[in-house]
Structure 1
Amino acid sequence: MSVFPREFIDRIPKTDLHVHLDGSLRLSTLIDLARESGVNLPSFTEQGLCELVFKSSYANLDEYLSGFAWTVKVLQSPEALERVAYELAIDSSAEGVRHLEVRFAPQLHMRGDTSANPRDAGSMRFEDVMAAVDRGLRRARGEINAARRHGEPEFDYGIIVTAMRFFTRDFSAYYRTFCDMHAYSPQNEIIRAAAIELARATVALCRSSDIQIVAFDLAGSEHGYPAGAHEEAFDYVHENFLKKTVHAGEAYGPESIFQAITKLHADRIGHGLRLFDTEMINSPEIADRAQYVRGLANFIADRRTTIEVCLTSNLQTAPDITDISKHSLGRMLENNLSITLCTDNRLVSHTTVTREILLAIENFAITPKTLKNIIVYGFKRSFSYKPYPEKRKYVRSIIDYYERLEREYGVLEDAEL
């Protein structure tokens, strides 16, 4: 029997630090935008899309990712991006999320003139994409905070700019142009150059606007596309004081996580699922794999590098994890790692932060003290746009509100499971 009343879980303040914009549309909005933009979906009903594309379970990672082909197609205008960002914030707030960090790859939505020349009427440059998403989130924040009840913490957001580990010219109009401009370069050089260009554009926009960009990310297939290939891009954002989060250990082993931290200066790790998987260590120089994993876990714990855990998503994309009890979250908690629970993709995974919390409570040794730590870590390790003194004050207000709810619902930190 859970020591947590369901209403308590519903009301506690939450974060979602790992959520992809293009994986978190409302189904009704996807259908609306497809009709408006002439995208021929496999079905134009919510039930049909759930049966054909956004399933309750997936055979493999490729099937899981197939839905993004449709969502990205409808997100090719500022109006569509603004609407989806706004709705994501509204939906997240409705379940108690008070700090939301939305990530996406702007280069998947850019098109037209990429030079410094005047834009043509149909172009959408980096700053246009970012401004549209920021407008949607900012509008939602204003409405949410205007309607909040007395004592509730304020809602805020941040935007994480994502570079791609892998792409082809068919991924977007921008990538087509970029590949054509580098027609005689090897693919790995083109991918690296696109990330560097994105890093420079991100820093420039941070300096010239009030768009709430808080971090830089790297996503995409790990196998064959190591994090270390993007050192130059991440060195650049690091030297310009941007925070970094890196998808690592999702489909590759502990070495990928170590590389993300040591070569890309990662402040947080996206997923980290394979942290303890010694069988996925490839380097012949690592003789004692168990010792390597222990050392890496201690290194992460000592640095307080936070892992963005996405339970449902991992279960859907890792065929070898047939039971949630085999997820590495249990060992992360045993090793006192700083973790936070996230959705990854609200639409593709059919999940919410509340559902992720309930999954953790039902399947792992989550005591009241453990849950409080997970929730508070989410706010403490968030990439806030606010100056640090303001962030500390905000986190204190979160802790005070959480403790008030503990008293109201009789949730005792020393209660036994």
Structure 2
Amino acid sequence: MTTTYSHAFLKAMPKADLHLHLDGSLRPQGLIEMAKRSGVELPSYTVDGLYDLVFKESYQNLGEYLNGFQYTCAVLRDMENLEQAAYELAQDNLAEGVIYIEARFAPQLMMDPARGIDFDTVMHATNKGLARAKHEYNSQTAVREGHKPPFDYGIINCAMRMFGKKGFSPYYTQLFQMLRDHEPKQVIKTAAMEMIRASVRLRDEEGLPIVGLDIAGQEMGYPAHDFKEVYEYAHQNFLLKTVHAGEAYGAESIFEALTQCYADRLGHGYSLFSPEMIQDPKISDKEDYARRLASFIADRRIAVEVCITSNLQTNPDIGDVRNHNFKHMFNHRLATVICTDNRLVSRTTVTQEYELALSAVDVPLKRLKDMVAYGFKKNFFAGDYIEKRAYAKKALEYFDTVAAEHGIK
């Protein structure tokens, strides 16, 4: 029997988004305002025009999907815009019942040494916007009196798997100039190590809620093991780790994230149940390899950050949501967290992602609550474990309240 849930219930229930790119989640109107303020040229200055030309409902490939980031990153190199984007990101999530977010981005893409915009400046501007939204929401009577759980957030900093010598960002352009006699991969790893050291310093010395490390960008040709030392530094300094793995490469990329980078969560993990994507010639029985890896991930309760719309857009061969590997993740009892990836680029919300997931798999209420719970139990909460447990308990008690209000048992 198919279990159905109303849009109103899915919107009202408490949710978390743990895979949320700040630079891919601007409001379209906000992007237009920021571009005008900063003198950044856009293909269109209307929302409909941007949707037609840049932020489409479907894309031909990953390259086209990533095209819009040149515009969002350009406006976010203005610190007033960056703070506004962070504030509006929190507001937009709160408007649909998302009470915990982990906003991730590559701070070095926003840095501009010639203009005095360094790592610390970028991080403080981002945190200021998120903290302002948190203070406003948590000052509401219903939250203060305990009728609703409070809003909280963490920041995940992304290192980049690759970047070009020119045009990628002012910081990366300057770094290539300074290290012009180094191999390109060594420059890339140097940037990643600089970022993780700065992240730990700001967390420890200034208390910024930098909760995790991610590595983003093209998987193929830039394997996770290239950044083993960067992840070791995070691991040794109690910074939690997620890895973009299995988005556009085989399950061996996921294995590498777990064994070489100490991944606490997996970003996407789509290819885990697509053994045909495995390319390592040493893996002879691909089906068995995928089965054993899936069992290992399930047994270890390593959460997978599932981004269905994004996967459908960057992998057109999937076609329909019913063909998405989420159904296999669900049936194999993986800890799945429903996420957006990019609210603007994918033109989606957490509520819509839940609706997609539930259209592909029949999920009874208890399993739905489990899925919601993973977002609060598998997050990289900035407080200690006792505080995290108490926060998760409040969120799940509120889930029960909302379910009762909507007559769902």
Instruction: Give TM-score scaled by structure 1 length.
Output: 0.95
Q: Which range is displaced more, 141-150 or 284-293?
A: 141-150
Shift of 1:257: 0.5
Name the aligned partner's letter for residue 352 of structure 1.
T
Number of the residue aligned with 2:15 = 14
What is the CA-CA distance between 1:148 and the residue it aligns to? 5.7
Which residue, out of 127, 130, 137, partners 1:144? 137
In structure 2, which of residues 341, 345, 364 is the aligned counterpart of residue 348 of structure 1?
A: 345
Q: Distance in 2 between matches of 1:47 and 1:147?
A: 35
- Contact (CA 8 Å) 2:212, 2:239: kept in 1 or not? yes
Alpha-carbon distance in structure 2 between the residues aligned to 1:279 and 1:360? 23
Residues 283 and 289, structure 2, Cα contact 8 Å, conserved in 1: yes
Whole-Å separation in 1 of the counterparts to 2:141 and 2:81: 27
Matches of 1:206 and 1:72 in 2, distance apart? 24
Is contact 1:3-1:411 (8 Å) kept? no
Q: Alpha-carbon deviation of 1:179?
A: 0.6
Cα separation, 2, equivalents of 1:7 and 1:148: 23
Residue-by-residue CA offset, 1:107-146 (whole Å, 9 max, x unaligned): 0011116xxxxxxxx2111010000000000000011111
The size of the alignment, in residue pairs, is 404
- The answer as to 2:92 corresponding to 1:91 is yes
Q: 1:384, 1:391 within 8 Å by CA — same for their partners in 2? A: yes
Match for 1:126 among 100, 105, 119? 119
Are the structure 2 counterparts of residues 148 and 59 from structure 1 closer, same or farther at C-alpha, using a change threshold of 3 Å? Answer: farther
Match of 2:111 in 1: 110
CA distance in structure 2 between the partners assigned to 1:283 and 1:3 by the alignment = 41
Q: Distance in 2 between matches of 1:341 and 1:182?
A: 40
Structure 1 distance, partners of 2:41, 2:51, is: 16
1:153 corresponds to 2:149: yes
Compute the displacement of 1:401 (Å): 1.2
> Aligned with 2:139: secondary structure?
helix
Q: Partner letter of residue 86 of structure 1?
A: Y
Contact 2:3 2:362 in 1 (8 A): no
Is the Cα contact below 8 Å between 2:3 and 2:364 reproduced in 1?
Answer: no
Residue 5 of structure 1: CA displacement? 3.0
2:13 touches 2:403 (CA, 8 Å); kept in 1?
no
CA distance in 2, matches of 1:3, 1:350: 23
Q: Which residue of 2 aligns with 1:201?
A: 198
Partner of residue 370 from structure 2, selected from 373, 380, 383: 373
Paired residue for 2:218?
A: 221
Correspondence for 2:168 among 166, 171, 183: 171
Deviation of 1:44 (Å): 0.8
1:264 maps onto 2:257 in alignment = no
2:317 paired residue among 312, 316, 320: 320
Alignment check: 8 A CA contact 2:254 2:272 kept? yes
Give the match for residue 186 of structure 2. Answer: 189
Match of 2:276 among 275, 279, 290: 279
Cα-to-partner distance string for 1:366-402 (whole Å, 9 max, x where unaligned): 2212211100011000110011111111111112111
The residue aligned with 1:116 is none
- Which 5+ residue runs of structure 2 have no aligned equivalent? none
Report if aligned partners of 2:245, 2:268 keep a CA contact under 8 Å in 1: yes
Q: Which amino acid aligns with 2:359?
A: E
Amino acid at match of 1:246: V
Alignment of 1:22-33 (within 5 A): 22-33=23-34
Secondary structure at the counterpart of residue 274 of structure 1? helix
CA distance in 2, matches of 1:181, 1:304: 43
C-alpha distance in 1 between matches for 2:160 and 2:26: 20
**Would you say 1:357 and 2:354 are equivalent positions?**
yes
CA distance in 2, matches of 1:197, 1:148: 43
Q: Secondary structure at the match of 1:98?
A: strand
Structure 1 residue 39, shift from structure 2 partner? 1.0
Name the CA distance, whole Å, in 2 between partners of 1:269 and 1:148: 37
Cα distance change on mapping 1:381 and 1:148 into 2, 3 Å: farther
Cα distance, 1:2 vs structure 2: 4.5
Partner SS state of residue 58, structure 2: coil
Letter in 1 for 2:126: V
Q: Which runs of 4+ in 1 moved over 6 A?
A: none
Residues 219, 249 of structure 2: 8 Å contact kept: yes
Over the residues paired in the alignment, what is the CA RMSD in angstroms? 1.1
Conserved 8 A contact 1:330-1:365: no
In 2, distance between residues paired with 1:167 and 1:106?
14
Secondary structure at the aligned position of 1:160 is classed as strand
Q: Does 1:58 align with 2:59?
A: yes
* Percent sequence identity over aligned pairs: 49
Q: What is the CA-CA distance between 1:176 and the residue it aligns to?
A: 0.8
Unpaired segments ≥5 residues, structure 1:
114-121, 413-417
**CA offset at residue 80 of structure 1?**
1.0
